[in-house]
Structure 1
Amino acid sequence: MKRTRLAAGALCVAMAGALTLTACSGDSGDDGTKTLTFMFRGGPDEKAAYEAAIDRYTEATGVEVEMIVTDADQYATKLQAAVAGNNVPDVFYIEQATLQSYVSSGILMDITDEVAESGVDLDNIWQYGVDSYRFDGTVQGTPDGALYGLPKDVGPFSFGYNKTMLEEAGIELPDPDEPLTWEEFVEICKTLTTDTDGDGAVDQWGTGLNVQWNLQSMVWSNGGDWTNADHTQVTVDTPEFAEALQKFADLTNVDQVTPSASDAATLDTYQRWMAGEIGFFPVGPWDVSVYNDLDFEYDLIPWPTVGDAGSATWLGSLGIGVSAMTEHPQEAVNLVTYLSADAEAQQTLVDANIQVPNLIDVAEEWAAAEDAEPANRQEFLDIAQDYGRAMPAAFTYGAEWYDELWTNIQPVLDGEQTAEDYLAETQPKMQALLDESLANAEMAAGG
C-alpha cells in the first residue's frame, strides 16, 4: 500500500526531531588533512569530469574529496539510506523537489552568508538555477529566500530534429527561431512517416514523444497549466489542457505519425531516434555527448506550439548542497562554490558534453562557437534565459499529486477515452493529494 504524502511529511518532521544526524566524513588525518565526501549521480563521462575538477580543487586547497557516485536511478534511494543511517555526505546533489523536506528536516545547511562572503557573482549564474535552491520557509524559488545550495547546472529541455532525414525527404528545414505551428509540425511528420524499404510496414516515423516528459510543452503553449500561480489549486480540467492532451494522443491514433504500441515494444522511441528512424525528438544537454556521435546530423529548434501562448518547455536543474552536520562547513561550501561557479571547473564539465555552462558569459561563448554541436546551441540558452519553466512539481512539497495524472492515462493514449473525460475524473484526485502535500509542508515548517 502506498504511504500517503501526509505520512511522508510526518516522517520528515520526525526525522528532524529524532535523528542526531552526522556527516559521513569530516575527519582530519594525522597530518591535519581535511577530507570531505561528495555524493553525486552520473555516468562515466560525468565521473571523469568531476575527478579532473576535484583534483585541481585538492591541489589548490589541500582538502581531500572522497567521491561517492551512483547511477541516476539509484541516487535518491542511496541518499535517503544515508540520511536514515545518520551518514549524510558533506556535499551532495539535491533535486528541486526534495529541497523543502531536507530543509525542514535539518539536513541542508543555509549557505547564504558563506556564498555572499565567497565573492561568487550570482548575477553570472542562471537566475532560475540560483533561485531554485532558495527557500524562505514557505515558498521555494523566491529571489528573497535563503540559499540552501547552488546549481550544478540548468537543464533546458529542447526539441531536436533529424536534419539528414528532412533533407533527404526534400523538406525545408525548420526556422531555428520561429516555432512550427502544430498543424505545420503534424504535416511534416506525416510526410516523414513512411515505409522506406518497401516491405509493407512503416519503419520511419515523424516523431515519438513520451507523455510524461513532453506534454508540458503542449499544455503550456496552449495556455494551460497544472496549477494556479501559488500551487494551491490543480487546474488540469480545462479546455486548454484537454485540447493539448487530446492532440498528443491523436499523434498515434489519428495522425499515425508515431510508432504503435507494438512497434515501441520491439524498439522504444529513444532507440529508434538513435537509429535514425524518427524525425523529431527531445534533446537535453545530457544527451549531447551521445547524440553527437550518431550517424546522422541533428539540430535544435523551438518546440511546436499548440495554441497562441508561444513555444514553451521545461527547465530543470540539479543543485549541490552542504550537510548541516558537516564538521568542515567552510571547506564544504568552498567545494560547492568551486563546482558551481569556478570557470575552469565548469569548463571541465562542459567539455565532457554533459551540461550547459553554468556561468552565463561562458555559455554565450560556448553557444557561439563555430564548431558547435549541435549547431543551434543557442536554443538551450534561450530556454534557460527566456522561456523555460519549472516542472509542475518542482517547487511543491512532494510530487505525488503530479504523478497521479499519469497513473491511469493509458486509455487516453490508446484512444479509448477522451482527454476531457479523463481530466474531469482525475483533477479531484490530484487536488486531494496536493492538499495533503500542503498540509505536509505546514507540518514540517511548524515542526
Structure 2
Amino acid sequence: MKKTNKKQICIFGALLVLTSCTFTTGGNNSSSNSISIEVDKSELETIMEKYDNLGYQYDYDGEECTLTMAHWDSSGASIERQVVEAVLSGFKKRYPKINVTLDIIQSYEDTYGNRITAGTAHDVFLTPDGAIPKWAGSNKLENLNPYISSSSLLNLSQVYSSCLTRYQYNPTTGKMGSGNQLALPKDVGPYVMYYNKDWFTNKGVTLPPKDRIMTIDEATEMWQQLTKYDENNNITGYGVAGLPIEGLVWSGGGDFLNSTRDAFPTDEVSLNGLKQAYQYMQDSYCKYKVQPPASFTGTTTASNLFTQQKVATVISGRWEVSTFRSLSFNWDIAYVPAFTTNPTKNMYSGSVGYAINSQTSKKLAAWKLIEYIASKEGQEILATTGFQIPVYEDLALEENLVNSEKEKGPENYEVFVESAKNQGYGLWQYRSNTLWKENGYDLNSEKLYAEVESERISVDEFLQKAKNDVNKYCK
C-alpha cells in the first residue's frame, strides 16, 4: 500500500451523508489506534444502482417490524459496529418496513451460547464458524434450506464452498460439513503474509513473490535477512510473527487427528507432517530466531508488533486491512509460506455468518436481513469497508472492485482472492469442542518453545505428551 496521510472519514450512514469521524480499534485482531476508512458518499448509491440495472428485486410483503441483531466486538466494538451499519444502511433502503436494532456484545463466543440455550437469543445473531459446532445441535438455529431454495437474490453455487459447508450440520449424524444450512456467511477472511515494504527496502531484501507461495526454506532465509540488531548484537526487530502451526502441519502433509477425527493420528504421513511442522516451529524461535519469544512480545499481539514495526512481516487475516490502511509505512501482502507437499493448504480462513433464531416470530423479516447480507449487493457494500473480500469469487475479481482495492491497498489484492479459494475451516470444526487441541497440543507446546534450553522438551517428547492428552479428550 502506498503511504497516505491519515484522514478522519466515517463509513457512510443510513442517510448517505458523508461525515467525518474517528474510531478506535481494539480486540484480539487489530492494533489499538485510530483508523480511517475512506468511502465516497455516492458509493452506496452506485452499488445499489448496479444491482437495480441487473434486475434484482428486493420484495417484502410482511408486517412492519423491528428485528434484534447480535454481533461481536472481535476487532473492537466501534469498528465492528461501523462495518455492520454500512450494510444495514443498504438494507434499510431496500426494506424500509424492517428496522434493525444492533447489539455489539463482548466475549461473544464465550457467552452467547448461554443465550441460545436459555431461549433469549436475538432474532438474528452472529454465528462464528468456531462456535457453530457447539451451537448446531441446540435446534435453536433455523434450517435455511427452504428459504435458500426460493431465493431470487442468492446464487450459492458462486460462493466459496468452504464458506457454506462450515455452517452446515447433519442432525442425523451430528457432524458438520453437510446437511442443514444453519447460517449464511457474512464474510471470509483468508490469511496472508503482510509485509513492511520500507523495512525490506532499508535492509536491501527482495520483496516476496506475489504470484506463488514461498517455500519455508525461502521464507526462513528472507526472515533472517530482515532481522535487526543493536550495537550489542541483541535482536530489536524480528522477521515474522504469527506463524501458524496449522499451515505448517497441513502443507507438510500432516494432520492433528486421524481420518475419523476421534483420536491422535497413527498413519506415517500425518505423523511425519506433524513432526516436521513442530520441529520447524521450535527452530523458528530457538535456532533461526525469526519469531520473537515471549520475553520480547509480552502481551502484545502479532498484529500490533507489525504496526509498531517490531516485526517485518505478520501472518494474519483480511480484517487487518481496515486498520493497516492508516499505517504510516508502506506495506503489501504475499501468500503464507508453506512446505512443498501441499503448499496451498498453508492456513485456514476465518469466517462469520448470521443465523435466524428458530423461536423468533419474525422469521420472514429475519431471512430478508441475512439474505441481503449474503447477497452480492450486501457483499459489495461490505467490501468497501476494507474489512473483508466478497464471498463470491466472481464479484471479488470484478475489475472495478479490484482497481478500488489496489488503489486503497494492498496492491497485491489478488493474493486474498486466491487464498480464499484454497483455505478451508480451522481445527474448531474437527469436533464439537476443542478440548483435545487445547489440552493436547497447545498446553504441551509451551515447553517446546521454552526460552531456557534446560526447560525445553524435544519434538518427540512433545508428540508423545500430545498423543496421550489428545486421546484422553477425544473419548
Do these two structures clear the TM 0.5 threshold for a shared fold by scoring above it? yes
Change (3 A) 1:205 1:101: closer
Q: Distance in 1 between matches of 2:87 and 2:424?
A: 30
CA contact (8 A) 1:97 1:397 kept: no
Identity rate, percent: 21
Name the SS for the 2:102 alignment partner. strand
Residue pair 2:113, 2:135 contacting (<8 A) in 1 also: no
Equivalent residue for 1:431?
471
Taking structure 1 as the reference length, the TM-score comes to 0.82
Structure 1 counterpart of 2:105: 70
Q: Distance in 2 between matches of 1:117 and 1:330?
A: 12
**CA shift at 1:266, angstroms?**
7.8
After superposition, the Cα gap between the structure-2 partners of 1:141 and 1:40, relative to the gap in structure 1 and judged at 3 Å, is same
| Structure-1 residue corresponding to 2:294 | 261
Gaps of 5+ in 2: 1-62
For the residues of structure 2 that align with 1:200 and 1:181, how far apart are their CA atoms?
A: 28
Q: Is it true that 1:79 corresponds to 2:74 in the alignment? A: no
Match of 1:355 in 2: 388
Matched to 1:224, the amino acid is: G
Q: How does 1:17-416 map to 2 (within 5 A)?
A: 33-42=64-73, 43-61=77-95, 62-71=97-106, 74-119=107-152, 120-137=154-171, 138=173, 140-143=175-178, 145-195=179-229, 198=231, 200-209=233-242, 214-235=244-265, 238-265=271-298, 269-311=302-344, 312-343=346-377, 345-365=378-398, 366-367=401-402, 369=404, 370-385=406-421, 387-404=422-439, 405-414=441-450, 415=453, 416=456
2 CA distance for matches of 1:41 and 1:229?
Answer: 33
Contact 1:125–1:341 at 8 Å: present in 2 too?
Answer: no
Return closer, same or farther for 1:363/1:308 CA change in 2, 3 Å cut-off.
same
After TM superposition, give the deviation of residue 262 of structure 1 in Å.
2.1
1:218 and 1:106 mapped to 2: Cα distance?
A: 36
Query: For the structure 1 residues 58 and 187, does the alpha-carbon distance in structure 2 shift closer, same or farther, using more than 3 Å as the test?
Result: closer
Q: 1:418 aligns with which of 458, 466, 474?
A: 458
Q: Cα RMSD over matched residues?
A: 2.3
Q: Is the 8 A contact 1:91 1:332 kept in 2?
A: yes
Task: Give distance in 2, aligned partners of 1:103 and 1:84.
Answer: 11
Shift of 1:293: 1.6
Cα–Cα, structure 1 residues 100 and 274, in superposed 2: closer, same or farther, change >3 Å?
Answer: closer
Question: In 1, Cα distance between the equivalents of 2:309 and 2:126?
Answer: 34
User: 1:288 Cα deviation (Å)?
Assistant: 0.5
CA contact (8 A) 1:221 1:310 kept: yes
Spell out, residue by residue over 1:119-158, the C-alpha distance to the aligned partner (whole angstroms, 9 max, x if none). Answer: 2111222211112111222264545x12111111112111
Structure 2 vs 1, CA of residues 293 and 59 (structure 1 numbering), >3 Å: closer, same or farther?
closer
Conserved? CA contact 2:238–2:291, under 8 Å: yes
User: What amino acid does structure 1 have at the position aligned with 2:412?
Assistant: N
Q: CA deviation at 1:307?
A: 4.2
Asked whether the equivalents of residues 97 and 398 of structure 1 are also in contact (C-alpha less than 8 Å), the reply is no
For 2:226 and 2:87, locate their aligned partners in 1 and report how far apart those are by CA, in whole Å.
44
Would you tell me which structure has more helix in proportion to its own residues?
A: 1
Distance 1:367 1:216, change over 3 A: farther
TM-score by length of 2: 0.78
What is the alpha-carbon distance in structure 1 between the residues aligned to residue 296 and residue 125 of structure 2?
40
For residue 75 of structure 1, report the CA deviation from its aligned partner: 1.0
Describe the superposition over 1:170-190 as per-residue Cα deviations: whole angstroms up to 9, x where unpaired.
Answer: 112221122222222112222
Which secondary structure state, in structure 1, belongs to the residue aligned with residue 397 of structure 2? helix
Q: CA deviation at 1:421?
A: 1.1
Residue 65 of structure 1 and its aligned partner are, at CA, apart by 1.2
- SS of residue matched to 2:350: strand
Q: Is the 8 A contact 1:97 1:396 kept in 2?
A: no
Question: Cα distance 1:430–1:294, how it changes in 2: closer, same or farther (>3 A)?
Answer: same
Letter in 2 for 1:231: R
Query: What is the CA–CA distance in structure 2 between the aligned matches of 1:294 and 1:100, rounded to whole Å?
Result: 37
Q: What is the alpha-carbon distance in structure 1 between the residues aligned to residue 355 and residue 253 of structure 2?
A: 35
Quote the residue 1:16 is aligned against: none
After superposition, the Cα gap between the structure-2 partners of 1:260 and 1:283, relative to the gap in structure 1 and judged at 3 Å, is: closer
Measured in 1, the distance between the counterparts of 2:64 and 2:78 equals 28
Assess, with a 3 A threshold, how the Cα gap between structure 1 residues 105 and 207 changes in structure 2: closer, same or farther: same
Q: Report the secondary structure of 1:310's partner residue.
A: coil
Instruction: Tell me how far 1:199 sits from its aligned partner.
Output: 5.7
The aligned amino acid for 2:461 is D
Higher relative contact order (CA 8 A, sep 6+): 1
Q: Secondary structure at the match of 2:338?
A: coil
